[in-house]
A = this chain, B = another copy of it.
């Protein structure tokens, strides 16, 4: 096999482990590593990719988490033959990117940006004092033009460089990317899952014909710094008849 496997030619900015994982994804996607085949032994594979074995193992571990590879001690590492989710909720991404990952085209309707003050309930969710200024976004997300989720977001204005930093937020923008550009990259979120019956407003926004229940994701998002503060509180109502919500659980 004379395929050039090396990952060191890559000049992207990500870590070597992430680039190695990306290279393995390509080799699998392109069929160089077909489903069911065994990978070369780890020291050999590391040599071919031009990385150390721990770095290779980090990359392989990542792909195992995505169900692309299977390790069998004493036997080898294999390309998985089982179907796998294109996107799982355990990975934190923006709603738009999640829609892209499942192969659909994201869109936004009804975007509205407001400045509000935190009532006691919202203040508790955001870990701020009641009465604090909060930026509030609402919008309906579509996939291939079909509404799939209605999203409401609340961001403490005190965490933004300026309270007006999000006033120019557009329908095509990514809130995750925008917050990262403002120095608030979201790194993790704690979501509460609640099945709910849609009210008239939600039925209207999502253009629902039936009163089938929706799945509400109520999330507290944390940024890298200062780290302990809630950078974003959100409520997303998903119509699971129109978009599958999947989740990879690891033991």
Contacts and interface: CB of A to CB of B under 8 A. Distances in A.
Contact of A89 (B185, B193, B226): B193
A214 B189 contact: no
Contact of A249 (B89, B226, B227, B246): B89
A82 B228 contact: yes
B190 A240 contact: no
A29 interface: no
Contacts of A152: none
Nearest to A78: B227
A188 B249 contact: yes
Interface string A36-72: 1000000000000000001000000000000100111
B195 A215 contact: yes
Contact of A193 (B71, B186, B193, B227): B193
Interface in A69-95: 70-72, 78, 80-82, 84-85, 88-93
Given A82-B222, A90-B90, A228-B82, A246 B191 contact: yes
What 10 pairs between A and B have smallest CB-CB spacing?
A195-B195, A213-B213, A70-B227, A195-B213, A92-B249, A90-B90, A92-B251, A193-B245, A191-B247, A189-B249
27 contacts: A54-B54, A70-B227, A71-B227, A72-B224, A72-B225, A80-B227, A81-B228, A82-B127, A82-B222, A85-B190, A90-B247, A90-B248, A90-B250, A91-B249, A187-B251, A188-B251, A191-B246, A191-B247, A191-B249, A192-B244, A192-B246, A194-B240, A194-B245, A195-B212, A195-B213, A219-B249, A247-B247
Given A80-B228, A190-B247, A193-B193, 10 more contacts: A54-B54, A72-B226, A90-B247, A185-B251, A186-B251, A190-B246, A191-B246, A192-B247, A194-B240, A195-B213
Interface of A: 36, 54, 67, 70-72, 78, 80-82, 84-85, 88-93, 127, 185-197, 212-215, 219, 222, 224-230, 240, 244-251
